[in-house]
Amino acid sequence: MNTGLPASSNREKRPLEKIQGNRYRLIYNLVNLIPAGRVATYGQIAGYIERCTPRMVGFAMAAVPQEIDVPWHRVINSKGMISIRANGECDMMQRVLLEAEGVNFDEKERVDLAEVGWEGLCLD
């Protein structure tokens, strides 16, 4: 098949889900370790996984399959806020779920990461 690309680029493209599959599983496994009433940041989760970025963690949270149970709502941005979605709105369901676990928001829609931030894994 001629794609118009150089010969070295004619390799069959793998679906993104296959490329990201193992990384997403690692992300989901880490997020499952965050206890109720605690939050982690996208960057914090990314920091445990080689060649992973906070944005990749965000994509993984947006792609959580319905058939698996991942507490996606416990991952927030580094400002202690719920990230704005692609449609420009905040996810109120995420806030409701966090508040149900005892996470409080201040008047600026932030959580106190020093108070409810997940301490993470002990890798000693």
What would the DSSP string read from start to end of 34-50?
A: SPTT-BEEHHHHHTTST
Per-residue pLDDT of the chain (124 residues; tens, 9 = 90+): 443 433 433 334 444 444 456 899 999 999 999 999 999 999 999 999 999 999 999 999 998 988 889 999 999 999 999 998 777 666 789 999 999 999 999 999 999 999 999 999 876 6
The tokens for 36 are 């109720």
3-state DSSP assignment of residue 55: helix
Q: Please, what is the end-to-end C-alpha distance for the chain in angstroms?
A: 51
Domains in the chain (CATH in brackets) are: 15-114 (1.10.10.10)
The pLDDT score that the predictor gives to residue 101 is: 98
Quote the CA–CA distance of 62 and 33 in Å, as a whole number.
18
Q: What is the largest CA-CA distance in the chain?
A: 58
CB 83 within 8 A of CB 58: yes
Quote the CA–CA distance of 30 and 85 in Å, as a whole number.
22
3-state DSSP assignment of residue 76: strand
